[in-house]
Each structure stands twice: as C-alpha cells, then as structure tokens.
C-alpha cells in the first residue's frame, strides 16, 4: 500500500464457514505435505531411525496453526486461494523430493 492511497484497508470479512472449512481441510492437507517434505528432504533424510513418529507429531501444530490464523485472511475466497496455492506448491515440492530421493 502506498502513501498515495489514504483510504483505510477494508475490514476483514468474517466468512466463518468458508474460512473454517478452508483452514481445516486445506490446513490439514498442507500439514501432511509439509510433514512429508520434512520426512523426505529434512534433516536425517527418509531413513533416519524413528523419525517417522516425529514426522507425525509435526502435523498437529502445522495444521492447527493454519486453522488458528486462517481467520486473518480478508475473505473466505482469499483463504481458499492462498491455502490452495500453498498446497499446490507443497505437494509439487514433496513430489520432487520423493523423486530425487528414490
């Protein structure tokens, strides 16, 4: 936002259903992808002993972090678009990491 636009930012639309659903569903799939990225490309690589349990534990904070903060999106539509985009990126990266590791 530049100084030339003095008008205030539009208020955040609540869009409860849309945002909650986006956060819960896309937040979960995003958390799974990030956990998977950590599993394949993170420290220790895919074969580290007992890392699989740690990977699973990671899902909860990432997922619920997204749910908690998804209400900050200015609208439900924006929540779906941003989180959907993040999912696309994360799964593309996961796919690349798996291909490289195998």
Partner 1 sequence: MRADIVRLYRTVHSWTGIVTGLILFIAFYAGALTMFKEPLERWVTPPSAVTPLALERADELIAATLALRPNAAKDFTLALEHGDGGVAGEQPLRLIWEAMRYDPAPWSATLQPDGTVGIEQLDPSGVGMLVDIVHRTVGIPGDLDIGTMVTGVASALYVVALVSGVIVLLPSLVKDFLVLRVGRNLKRMWLDAHNIVGIVSLPFHIVIALSAVVFGLHDQIYDALDEAVYGGRMRAVMMESSPFRAVRKDPTPAAMLPPTEFLARAKALSPDFTPIALEYHDANTRSATVRVWGRDPRHLVRREGFVLMSATRGTIIDTEYMPGHQGSWSAMVSAFFALHFGSFGGGVVRWTYFLLGLAGAFLFYSGNLLWIESRRRTERRAGGPVTQSRSTALLAAGTVGVCLGCVGGLSLTIAAGKWLNGLVTDLNAWHYGVYYAVFLASCAWAFARGAARAGSELLWMAAATTAAIPLTSLLALAVPGLGLWASADLIAVDLVALAGAAGFAGLARATGRRVQQGPRDSVWSGIASPVGMKAAE
Query: Could you list the residues that contact partner 1 (CB under 8 A)?
Result: 11-12, 14, 16, 28-29, 32-33, 35-36, 39-40, 44, 46-57, 59-61, 63-65, 67-69, 71-72, 91, 94, 98
DSSP three-state, residue 44 = coil
> Are 83 and 31 spatial neighbours (Cβ–Cβ below 8 Å)?
no
The token pair that represents 53 in the structure block: 């349990």
* Least distance in angstroms from the C-beta of 1 to partner 1: 14
* Least distance in angstroms from the C-beta of 59 to partner 1: 5
* Least distance in angstroms from the C-beta of 98 to partner 1: 8
- Count the helices and strands in the chain (H runs, E runs): 4, 0
């Amino acid at each position: 936002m530049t100084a030339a636009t003095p008008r205030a930012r539009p208020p955040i639309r609540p869009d409860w259903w849309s945002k909650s659903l986006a956060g819960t569903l896309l937040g979960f799939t995003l958390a799974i992808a990030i956990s998977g990225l950590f599993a394949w490309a993170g420290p220790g690589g895919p074969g580290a002993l007992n890392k699989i349990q740690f990977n699973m534990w990671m899902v909860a904070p990432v997922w619920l972090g997204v749910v908690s903060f998804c209400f900050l999106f200015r609208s439900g539509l924006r929540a779906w678009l941003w989180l959907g985009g993040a999912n696309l990126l994360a799964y593309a990266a996961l796919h690349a990491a798996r291909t490289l590791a195998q």
